[in-house]
Amino acid sequence: MAAKSNLRNMALCLTAVCLVCSAILGLVNKMTIEPIAAAQKAKTNATIAKVLPEFSGDVVPGSVNVAGVEYSYYEAPGAGYAITSVVGGFNGALSVMVGITNEGIVHNTSTLSHSETPGLGAKCQNDAKFLDQFKSWNPSEKTLLVKKDGGDVDAITASTITSRAYTLAISNALAAYNEIVKNVGGQNNE
> Measured from the CB of residue 170, what is the shortest distance to another protein in angstroms?
16
Listed ranges 20-28, 53-61, 96-104, 173-181: which one lies at the site for another protein (CB under 8 A):
20-28
Beta bridge partners of 88: 93
117-136 binders of another protein (CB under 8 A)? 117-119
The count of other CB atoms within 10 Å of the CB of residue 79 is 22
The smaller minimum CB distance to another protein, of residues 41 and 135, is found at 41
> What binding mask, one character per residue, do residues 30-69 give for another protein by CB under 8 A, x or -?
-xx--xx--xx--x-------------------------x
- Which secondary-structure segment (H or E) carries 170? helix 160-188
Which long-range contacts link 144-150 to residues 24+ away (Cβ below 8 Å)? 144/170, 144/171, 144/174
Q: What are phi and psi of 144, to 5 degrees?
A: -85, 70
CA angle 63, 65, 66 (to 5 degrees): 135
Q: Which is it for strands 69-76 and 60-66: parallel, antiparallel or unpaired?
A: antiparallel
The smaller minimum CB distance to another protein, of residues 71 and 81, is found at 71
Single residue of 13, 60, 158, 184 touching another protein by CB under 8 A: 13
Q: Point out which residues bind another protein (CB under 8 A).
A: 1-6, 9-10, 13-14, 17-18, 21-22, 24-26, 28-29, 31-32, 35-36, 39-40, 43, 69, 86-93, 95, 117-119, 161
